[in-house]
Chains A and B, each alone.
Chain A
């Protein structure tokens, strides 16, 4: 599987940036806490894409970037497990997933 890529590094990075910023927007703007978690997954994917792209373009003889991406995936899996468990725990006591009502830090 050796593709002859005609698309440059910058293009990949731009795709990653788009994914990242869309995820960021989701984190800021979504009301549903599950949607916020999904947006975080988007951002993590954007980062992974960057790792792999840098690896492919700047270190053609090694897979170090892929190792990093692998670790990020592991972390993301842990994150989503704990995050969703938290969502369920909060939902059990508060009966809501609306982030507007998650304001216990207030005052």
Chain B
């Protein structure tokens, strides 16, 4: 049963990702992206990471996708059907990405340590465990990311607002 669920969402995610990078319409790309996020979120659930899945849905599918759509709307010019085309070097890009995939696939498939099925999941409450880790072992990165978010917020505001000419 879970295998079927896995393949449904895995294929959904990969296919949507494919759509993101191949669609000529940037708005379609944005929607495909949201779909990919949903697919990945489902995979998180399958991996017992329910909290991460929730965050994924909230942050990515909700906030990021919406921001991307806003950016698209703010910067869109001309015909939306030709808004996201490939550049001249797309062939090389395809070659490199393909080659990398082949290499990674070879690494994954030839590594016998990874050819395993999952054991029983022993963590009872992921959210509680996560919070405990974040506020103990990962205290400093946690605070640092708080600062980072603040800085990113201010930076984004300043960048988007622009500097007045007379200053």
Contacts and interface: CB of A to CB of B under 8 A. Distances in A.
Interface of A: 1-15, 17-32, 34-35, 37-39, 41-42, 45, 48-49, 52-53, 55-57, 60-64, 66-67, 69-71, 73-82, 84-89, 91-92, 95-97, 99-100
Contact of A1 (B48, B90, B116): B48
A39 B97 CA distance: 12
Given A60-B119, A63-B126, A81-B67, A42 B36 contact: yes
B116 A15 contact: no
24 contacts: A1-B48, A3-B48, A5-B47, A6-B2, A9-B116, A11-B10, A15-B43, A17-B108, A19-B36, A20-B104, A21-B97, A21-B104, A26-B21, A29-B93, A32-B83, A34-B75, A42-B17, A48-B40, A48-B56, A57-B119, A73-B60, A77-B63, A95-B77, A96-B77
Contacts, number: 278
A21 B98 contact: yes
B87 A84 contact: no
Contacts of A84: 67-68, 70-71, 156, 160
Interface of B: 2-3, 6-7, 10, 13-14, 17-18, 20-21, 26, 29-30, 33, 36-37, 40, 43-52, 55-56, 59-60, 63-64, 67-68, 70-72, 74-75, 77, 83-90, 92-94, 96-98, 100-101, 104-105, 108-109, 111, 114-123, 126, 129-130, 133-134, 138, 141, 145, 148-149, 151-153, 155-160, 162
A75 B51 CA distance: 17
A69 B151 CA distance: 21
A44 B9 CA distance: 18
A66 B49 CA distance: 7
Nearest to B23: A35
Tell me if A's interface is mostly helix, strand, loop or mixed.
helix
A56 B152 contact: no
**Among all A-B residue pairs, the 10 with the closest Cβ atoms:** A28-B93, A78-B152, A29-B90, A26-B21, A85-B159, A25-B97, A85-B156, A21-B101, A29-B93, A85-B160
A68 B120 CA distance: 21
Contacts of B44: 49, 52
Contacts of A29: 21, 86-87, 89-90, 93-94
Contacts of B155: 82, 85
A58 B5 CA distance: 22
A22 B87 contact: no
B122 A22 contact: no
